[in-house]
């Protein structure tokens, strides 16, 4: 079980790094090349730690649904109505 959790975290870290590289390639200003922007890109395109980039989609999501994806897929919990990042669940 611990190995599976570790693998999922590793896959999540890789996906976040990929998203940040995409933001850089798109020449997004440095200030926006952060984890929150990477999570937003991932939420809006749909890849998860287990899902490949070629399986991207374009779901219509509000901020609450995006925050749910941050938490569920990448272990990043933001408190509603803030930018505060809570602990990994």
- Residue 5 region, left (φ>0) first, then alpha (ψ -120 to 50), else beta? alpha
pTM reported for the whole predicted model: 0.76
**What percent of the chain clears pLDDT 70, i.e. is strictly above it?**
84
Q: What is the pLDDT of residues 64-84, one digit of tens each?
A: 899 999 999 898 888 777 665
Token pair 């975290």: residue: 9
**CA angle, 88 then 43 then 80, to 5°:** 55
Encoded tokens for 24: 């850089």
User: 35-45 and 63-74 helices cross at what angle (nearest 10)?
Assistant: 100
Question: What CATH topology corresponds to 2-74?
Answer: Arc Repressor Mutant, subunit A (1.10.10)
pLDDT in tens, 1-23: 666 667 777 888 999 999 999 99
Taking Cα atoms as reference points, which of 71, 66, 65, 64 lies closest to residue 85? 71
């Amino acid at each position: 079980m611990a190995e599976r959790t570790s693998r999922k975290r590793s896959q999540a870290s890789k996906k976040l790094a990929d998203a940040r590289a995409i933001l850089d390639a798109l020449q997004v200003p440095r200030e926006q090349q952060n984890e929150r922007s990477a999570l937003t890109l991932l939420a809006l395109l749909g890849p998860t730690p287990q899902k490949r980039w070629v399986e991207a989609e374009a779901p219509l999501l509000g901020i609450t649904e995006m925050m749910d994806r941050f938490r569920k897929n990448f272990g990043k919990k933001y408190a509603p109505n803030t930018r505060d990042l809570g602990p990994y669940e």
